[in-house]
Chain A
Amino acid sequence: DGGITQSPKYLFRKEGQNVTLSCEQNLNHDAMYWYRQDPGQGLRLIYYSQIVNDFQKGDIAEGYSVSREKKESFPLTVTSAQKNPTAFYLCASSLQEKLFFGSGTQLSVL
């Protein structure tokens, strides 16, 4: 069954800690994206990658980092520099401009 797998579903971060959200796809899509969703604000783009070993900042990249070493994987690290990390994080891949989303990770601060 093809799709996008995000893990974990829920994640808690202590102050000063970096955490990494996993995103894996087996759809063979080149492009992958990370979005942040806050209540009442829709989805905002954090980072995107059009191809392996290349990625670009989105609108709210500060405090986040990514890597794209494999086509299937696009992990997002929320660093301690991100002062307000509590949000729902969605990973997506795209084919012919259509986005396919994972089921998301809810990150909360302890």
Chain B
Amino acid sequence: QQPVQSPQAVILREGEDAVINCSSSKALYSVHWYRQKHGEAPVFLMILLKGGEQKGHEKISASFNEKKQQSSLYLTASQLSYSGTYFCGTDPDSWGKLQFGAGTQVVVTP
């Protein structure tokens, strides 16, 4: 079952913050985050393993609440380069067979 992402889209001005949420109905081993720019392949951002750890990539960070089966991606002080569609991928059993959410489109304007 695919995880549910929210919001579907967000528009930001440069320097603003945003949060993207990812929820699963299954217990999870890990959550992955990818960003895809229009017409390009998705690019890996980070993996979070069960244990509630938080990770960061530039000014993008994420958390994973294993008990709630949720992950959140935080875009801090957004830059124009952050524009794209963000996907979460969930893995229930460490086999690498990811289920992806429908994506959140992020537009950062000057």
Binding site for B on A (CB under 8 A): 31, 35, 40-45, 48, 50, 58-59, 90, 94, 97-104
Contact = CB atoms under 8 A, between A and B. Distances in A.
B84 to A, nearest CB: 14
B47 A98 contact: yes
Contacts of B101: 42
A98 B100 contact: no
Contacts of B99: 45, 59
Given A31-B96, A48-B97, 7 more contacts: A42-B100, A42-B101, A42-B102, A50-B96, A90-B42, A99-B89, A103-B40
Interface residues of B, number: 24
Q: Please list the 4 inter-chain residue pairs (A to B) with the smallest Cβ-Cβ separation, ordered nearest first.
A: A101-B41, A43-B100, A42-B100, A42-B102
B87 A43 contact: yes
Contacts of B2: 42, 44
Contacts of A90: 41-42
A45 B97 contact: yes
Interface in B33-77: 34, 40-44, 47
Contacts of B47: 97-98
A44 to B, nearest CB: 7
5 contacts: A40-B102, A42-B103, A43-B89, A99-B32, A99-B42
Interface of B: 2, 5, 30, 32, 34, 40-44, 47, 87, 89, 91, 94-103
Contacts, number: 54
A90 B98 CA distance: 14
Contact of B41 (A44, A50, A103): A103
A41 B102 CA distance: 5
What's the dominant secondary structure at chain A's contact region?
Answer: strand
A52 B44 CA distance: 25
A97 B41 contact: no
A76 B20 CA distance: 33
B96 A97 contact: yes
